[in-house]
A and B are shown apart, each in its own frame.
Chain A
């Protein structure tokens, strides 16, 4: 599908060519409102159908290890301390102390001021974007509400990147989006992306949180996904985890469809991160099925798919222990978070 002329454009020109002009409110509105609407009933039926697949034992074993490797182990509390971040990092590196064969998670996700503590705790196992080790992701741009001046949001991002964050999870301005000021949302994402630039010129990975629980309709989710991708997001993420409903399977499916269409159009692979509300391995496996069926199995790598979760890991570990030992395990055999 890379025969499309869009694939030959430079990334920054691609969006402008697609929108058909500068990224103004009017141009973006014309483009985003020209995207076909979503059949909500069909989408939910499709998602429910994907959730009924029967996963047999050997596939389940693979799925469980894959899920662990895709988790952004998260602590985003007002009460976070450097000690809590250290124990989170310890768990990220050795999720199951009773089984050295257990894979590591993809990243730890913390508030910007805790990035330093996470980097120190990781030490030589800090992946810093490489495949070995664990990355540090930071939420930024006045997470979770995003209600702050642009200068403050950008300072928030630069602060986290300077402290060593490999990935930045930004929130879009939902107020501006719902008011139809698409140009403002677009420009903010572009500015945040630029603020992700490190001293050596490389860029921290940018995840754009749409906060789908506040967007009200699947059509809005689809538009916001397109907007985030056009503006240069590397990842689109469902939720902050602070708003209910957080990630749901239909919402994630609709975002994956945008990612699939973008790949067909440009040959570029964008990542997806459902976050919040995924607590059981059973749920997580449904997401794996949805990814594989919508965009393909090549998306099941930490570069292209993540789970934003904290309690999910414990449930996955219990399932893993069940498969290893042959008997049911219990919460006494995993850490209390």
Chain B
């Protein structure tokens, strides 16, 4: 007697909740062999708009949290990822057609990378900030501050979980909030990460995950006046020059597409890409 499987229809992750796409659309997620795996929500431009609103309203709390607290919250996500290893491995195997060893290697690397970035939360300021010498009785301090709302097109190739983690973790470290368009063909890792985030200590709205077509959603995020930075790391197959041009209209910080094995490799520069350097002058103590 065969049990009837329950085909899942996943939703988006916006503002800490799991809404359906306002368009009501879904698309089929297929395994590498072409078998049906699940339905994923096909996000629309209005979902992207809602996600930006959620990210904007979460920004004050996340950017205002202490660096130490942000590091703790990010580290806690790594703990939760560890607890769900089996699920991630299973999804990666069916989506990407790799064997258990490769999938488990990818999950391990994603968790390690997350921990690596979490550690930077209360350290990057010391490395990137500076006390500048000036010719007067002033303290002159430069400190990096979060850029704001960062829109990310997640890497679209293999290694769906590692690519996603490599793209969103550095933006979160500095206190930015994120709207990410997941890997279109292999969105299950992103959906499961959303479920991890929902049960973690990350405030709702700090990470917003849209599934669907990057080609459809990316232009709206690139031109959105309330988005402060744009990471095109997974936009190599899109008309990314056009995206950069429309991002320039509102002076966004933009990272270009990357491909290959070391795409979005862990680096301090990825954290600093989404910060603004603020310099303050302050008189030295009056004696």
The chain A residues found within 8 Å of chain B, CB to CB, are: 321, 326-333
* A31, B39: Cα distance in complex, Å: 61
**B56 pairs with A328, CB closer than 8 A:** no
Q: Which of B61-69, B97-105, B219-227 contacts A (4 or more CB under 8 A)?
A: B219-227
Nearest CB of chain A from residue B103's CB, rounded to whole Å: 38
- Interface core residue of B52, B225, B249 (most chain A CB under 10 Å): B225
Q: Name the residue of chain A whose CB is nearest to the CB of B52.
A: A328
* A327, B220: Cα distance in complex, Å: 7
* A333, B226: Cα distance in complex, Å: 9
Q: Name the residue of chain B whose CB is nearest to the CB of A326.
A: B223
**A328 pairs with B246, CB closer than 8 A:** no
Q: Which residues of A contact B246 (CB under 8 A)?
A: 327
Residue in contact with A331 in the complex, picked from B49, B220, B226, B227, CB distance below 8 Å: B226
- Interface core residue of A321, A326, A327, A332 (most chain B CB under 10 Å): A327
**A331 pairs with B223, CB closer than 8 A:** no
**Nearest 5 CB-CB pairings of A with B:** A330-B226, A327-B223, A330-B225, A328-B224, A329-B225
**B220 pairs with A329, CB closer than 8 A:** no
Nearest CB of chain B from residue A41's CB, rounded to whole Å: 28
Interface string of B222-242 (1 = CB under 8 A from A): 011111000000000000000
Q: Name the residue of chain B whose CB is nearest to the CB of A333.
A: B225
**B224 pairs with A327, CB closer than 8 A:** yes
Q: Name the residue of chain A whose CB is nearest to the CB of B221.
A: A328
Q: Which residues of B contact A332 (CB under 8 A)?
A: 225-226
The chain B residues found within 8 Å of chain A, CB to CB, are: 49, 52, 56, 220, 223-227, 246, 249
Q: Which residues of A contact B56 (CB under 8 A)?
A: 330-331
What are 21 A-B pairs at a CB distance below 8 A? A326-B223, A327-B220, A327-B223, A327-B224, A327-B225, A327-B249, A328-B49, A328-B220, A328-B223, A328-B225, A328-B226, A329-B225, A329-B226, A330-B56, A330-B224, A330-B226, A330-B227, A331-B56, A331-B226, A332-B226, A333-B225
* A330, B249: Cα distance in complex, Å: 13
Q: Which residues of B contact A327 (CB under 8 A)?
A: 220, 223-225, 246, 249
Residue pairs across A and B with CB atoms within 8 Å: the count is 28
Nearest CB of chain A from residue B166's CB, rounded to whole Å: 27
Q: Which residues of B contact A333 (CB under 8 A)?
A: 225
* A327, B224: Cα distance in complex, Å: 6
* A329, B225: Cα distance in complex, Å: 5
Q: Which residues of B contact A321 (CB under 8 A)?
A: 225
Q: Which residues of B contact A331 (CB under 8 A)?
A: 56, 226
Q: Which residues of A contact B227 (CB under 8 A)?
A: 330
Nearest CB of chain B from residue A233's CB, rounded to whole Å: 39
* A40, B1: Cα distance in complex, Å: 53
* A196, B55: Cα distance in complex, Å: 49
* A332, B246: Cα distance in complex, Å: 17
* A327, B223: Cα distance in complex, Å: 6
* A331, B52: Cα distance in complex, Å: 12
Q: Which residues of B contact A328 (CB under 8 A)?
A: 49, 52, 220, 223-226
* A331, B56: Cα distance in complex, Å: 10
Known: A328-B223, A330-B52, A332-B226. 17 other contacts (CB 8 A): A327-B220, A327-B223, A327-B224, A327-B246, A327-B249, A328-B52, A328-B224, A328-B225, A328-B226, A329-B225, A329-B226, A330-B225, A330-B226, A330-B227, A331-B56, A332-B225, A333-B225
Nearest CB of chain A from residue B235's CB, rounded to whole Å: 17
* A329, B49: Cα distance in complex, Å: 10
Q: Name the residue of chain B whose CB is nearest to the CB of A321.
A: B225
* A328, B53: Cα distance in complex, Å: 11
* A332, B59: Cα distance in complex, Å: 14
Q: Which residues of B contact A330 (CB under 8 A)?
A: 52, 56, 224-227
* A332, B228: Cα distance in complex, Å: 11
Q: Name the residue of chain B whose CB is nearest to the CB of A329.
A: B225
* A177, B165: Cα distance in complex, Å: 62
Nearest CB of chain B from residue A281's CB, rounded to whole Å: 13
* A331, B225: Cα distance in complex, Å: 9
Q: Name the residue of chain A whose CB is nearest to the CB of B249.
A: A327
Q: Which residues of A contact B223 (CB under 8 A)?
A: 326-328
Nearest CB of chain B from residue A335's CB, rounded to whole Å: 15
* A4, B227: Cα distance in complex, Å: 60
* A328, B227: Cα distance in complex, Å: 9
Nearest CB of chain A from residue B28's CB, rounded to whole Å: 28
* A332, B56: Cα distance in complex, Å: 11
* A262, B49: Cα distance in complex, Å: 43
Q: Name the residue of chain A whose CB is nearest to the CB of B45.
A: A328
* A330, B179: Cα distance in complex, Å: 15
* A333, B225: Cα distance in complex, Å: 8
Q: Which residues of A contact B220 (CB under 8 A)?
A: 327-328
Q: Name the residue of chain A whose CB is nearest to the CB of B48.
A: A328
Q: Name the residue of chain B whose CB is nearest to the CB of A330.
A: B226
Nearest CB of chain B from residue A283's CB, rounded to whole Å: 15
Nearest CB of chain B from residue A329's CB, rounded to whole Å: 5
* A109, B193: Cα distance in complex, Å: 49
* A329, B227: Cα distance in complex, Å: 9
* A332, B226: Cα distance in complex, Å: 7
* A329, B220: Cα distance in complex, Å: 11
Nearest CB of chain A from residue B248's CB, rounded to whole Å: 12
* A332, B251: Cα distance in complex, Å: 13
* A327, B226: Cα distance in complex, Å: 10
